[in-house]
């Protein structure tokens, strides 16, 4: 596996982790907005989600997130070791933001005060430099 392929895998898992965090946040918002119903004899014609259903989903999502993070820890550790082999700190930053924080090139450019095209060029240089190791 090339350095770029390895870092791409790290990026994809980080995107999954971020998506799971967003999902958990939405579930938490729903759970805190729901109020328990005191009516026992209410007739339902369609299935509506209860607070209990939301809490069960929330627990499941948190468990899935924990597994994702646990499984991903060693992969990230290896990616950091790989990135730290680069001598240029800016190249390291770009790869860390891109692959470990799953940031877009535009976000990285804004953060580092470079143009989008310059970030892409530096990214390509960083990947080429990593292939030497």
Indicate the burial class of 108 (C-beta count within 10 angstroms; 0-12, 13-18, 19 or more).
buried
Does pTM surpass 0.85? no
Mean pLDDT of the region 104-109: 96
Confirm whether 72 is domain-assigned: yes
Confirm whether 106 is domain-assigned: yes
Helix (H, G, I), strand (E, B) or coil at 104: coil
Confirm whether 122 is domain-assigned: yes
Confirm whether 62 is domain-assigned: yes
Confirm whether 41 is domain-assigned: no
The total of structural domains in the chain comes to: 1
Confidence of residue 42 (pLDDT cuts 50, 70, 90): low
Domain range spanning residue 84?
3-36+49-131
Confirm whether 70 is domain-assigned: yes
Confirm whether 42 is domain-assigned: no
Is the distance from CB of 4 to CB of 127 less than 8 angstroms?
yes
Confirm whether 29 is domain-assigned: yes
- Quote the tokens at residue 94: 């770009």
Q: What pLDDT is attached to residue 94?
A: 97
Q: What pLDDT is attached to residue 54?
A: 87
Report the percent of the chain where pLDDT is more than 70. Answer: 88
């Amino acid at each position: 596996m090339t350095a770029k392929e390895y870092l791409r895998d790290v990026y994809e898992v980080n995107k999954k982790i971020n998506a799971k965090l967003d999902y958990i946040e939405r579930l938490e918002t729903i759970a805190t907005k729901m109020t328990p119903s005191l009516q026992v004899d209410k007739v339902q014609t369609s299935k509506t989600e209860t607070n209990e259903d939301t809490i069960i989903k929330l627990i499941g999502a948190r468990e899935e997130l924990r597994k994702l993070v646990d499984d991903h820890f060693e992969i990230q550790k290896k990616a950091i070791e790989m990135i730290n082999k680069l001598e240029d700190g800016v190249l390291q930053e770009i790869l860390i933001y891109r692959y470990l924080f799953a940031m877009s090139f535009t976000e990285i450019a804004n953060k580092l005060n470079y143009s989008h095209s310059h970030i892409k060029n530096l990214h390509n240089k960083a990947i080429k430099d990593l292939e030497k190791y």
